[in-house]
Homo-oligomer: A and B are copies of this chain.
Amino acid sequence: MTDATLYMHDNTPLEFKRGGRLDEFTIAYETWGTLNQDKSNAALILTGLSPSAHAASSPEDPSPGWWEPMVGPGLPIDTDRFFVISLNSLGSCKGSTGPASICPATGQPWRLDFPDLSVEDIAAASSRVVTHLGITQLCLLVGPSMGGMSTLAYLQQNPQGARHYLNISGAHKAEPFSIAIRSLQRELIVSDPQWRDGQYDDRDWPEKGMRMARKLGMLSYRSAEEWRGRFGRREQNYFPTETFGMNYEVESYLEAAARRFVGSFDPCSYLYLSRSMDWFDATENHPNLTSALKGIELQSSYVLGAKTDILFPPYQQEAIANALSENGIKTACSILPSIMGHDAFLVDHDHFGPNIAAYLQRVLHEDGLDHQGDA
């Protein structure tokens, strides 16, 4: 990882929801801004499936982060006010313990011997980082995409864990259409002959399967409307055209994007994280979501989504907002008219930036943090 990455090594065992445990584990994280004296200005970001902890650049690591226009001094998640923590999910491969890590007992990568990972385990490991930093209660919890799931699990596990909550393009349970997409992505990977039942060579990953899975992912992350305007029927001349190969620019765009992704993400980590989302259902053991979120003591929450999101469709954000509201939490919900689909929160800052900034200004004001640190 980079110079900005910090590591929490935890020797207290982590019991997994579905059985199995880690006797010790590591979570990679980064922070921005300064934790104030009473430790009341912490904001924790739990990420989507693939990001590292590097949400934004910093003097220690000037490379752009995955949420660069959202996190920084004067930006919507204002690092002049918030002490921002972003971490790499348990199970991922960007510095945190996951199937690609070395299993201490064998000296070999965990791979398929890694315990069955749930979103709830990601939340539990994340909570350890907050404790590790001496923070009792977050000012703000932020979760986009898969983070919209893991932050819900976080709040279920820690009902007093945060005062304010920002859920972006999230869902409280996996629905069959999204399950079908992710299931097919996993099938593409394990059908690649290089997969070798998880014993793939570290220099010979199931790259073709990963590339096709990433393309399918991108089909679910964006929208027909965006691509219509962006690519139309323009032909491609970037890649050689093979039999039944690429003819149009949209195809070469997907190929290039998939190639960038592949090789940077461990296949086994991808499979574990992907499956954890299918398994997630915050209403498990509850008659409904309102009951499932009962007891959570937030002061406010804001739930956002994009109207063109087909992977985490808007009715899922509305369901979360309704349930929070029915629990007496001051909640706002915005389904933004973005054409950028599920990825809108990453790329459509014109729609997401101002809405998030306005909410967080109110949060800071409410908590008396809006001038703290000013000279």
| Least CB separation from A279: chain B residue | B247
Taking CB atoms, residues of chain B closer than 8 Å to A281 are: 233
Do B228 and A176 touch (CB < 8 A)?
Answer: yes
Q: Which 6 A-B pairs have the closest CB atoms?
A: A177-B224, A176-B250, A176-B227, A176-B231, A186-B244, A183-B251
Interface positions of A from 200 to 231, Cβ below 8 Å from B: 208, 212, 215-216, 219, 223-224, 227-228, 230-231
Please, how many residues of chain A have a CB less than 8 angstroms from a CB on the other chain? 50
Is A179 in the interface zone, CB < 8 Å from B?
yes
Question: Quick one: which of A176, A188, A208 has the most chain B CB within 10 A?
Answer: A176
Cβ–Cβ < 8 Å partners of A174 in chain B = 233
Say if the beta carbon of A112 comes within 8 Å of chain B. yes
Hey, which chain B residues are within 8 Å of A62, CB to CB? none
Known A-B contacts A180-B251, A243-B112; the reply to A187 vs B212 at CB < 8 A is yes
Task: Return chain B residues, CB-CB under 8 Å to A354.
Answer: none
Provide the bound-state CA to CA distance between A180 and B184, in Å: 16
With contacts A191-B208, A198-B243, A243-B190 taken as known, whether A248 is within 8 angstroms of B176 at the C-beta atoms is yes
Establish whether residues B250 and A180, one from each chain, have CB atoms under 8 Å apart when the complex forms: yes
Q: How far in angstroms is the closest Cβ of chain B from A178?
A: 8
Q: Which of B197, B219, B232 contacts A184 (CB 8 A)?
A: B219
CB A22 to nearest CB in B, in angstroms, measures 20
Alpha-carbon distance A233/B271, docked complex (angstroms): 19
Residue of B nearest to A223 (CB): B177
* Residues from chain B with Cβ under 8 Å of A197 in the complex: 243
CA distance A244 to B276 in the complex (A): 10
In the assembly, what is the distance between CA of A208 and CA of B190, in Å? Answer: 11
Across-interface contacts of A224 in B (CB, < 8 A): 175-178, 310, 313
- Complex: chain B residue closest to A228, CB-CB: B175
Chain A contacts to B: CB under 8 angstroms = 112, 173-181, 183-184, 186-191, 193, 197-198, 208, 212, 215-216, 219, 223-224, 227-228, 230-233, 243-244, 246-251, 254, 271, 275, 278-279, 281, 310, 313
Q: How close is A261's CB to chain B, nearest CB, in angstroms?
A: 15
Interchain CA distance A278-B244 in the complex, whole Å: 11
A271 contacts across to B, CB distance below 8 A: 244
Evaluate contact between A244 and B275: CB separation under 8 angstroms.
Answer: yes
CB distance from A169 to the nearest CB of B (A): 15
Q: List 22 A-B contacts (CB under 8 A).
A: A173-B233, A175-B233, A176-B230, A176-B231, A176-B248, A176-B249, A176-B250, A177-B223, A179-B233, A179-B248, A183-B247, A184-B215, A184-B254, A186-B244, A187-B215, A188-B188, A188-B212, A191-B208, A197-B243, A233-B281, A244-B271, A310-B310
9 new A-B pairs (CB below 8 Å) besides A179-B251, A184-B219?
A174-B233, A177-B224, A178-B224, A180-B215, A180-B227, A180-B254, A183-B246, A190-B244, A233-B281
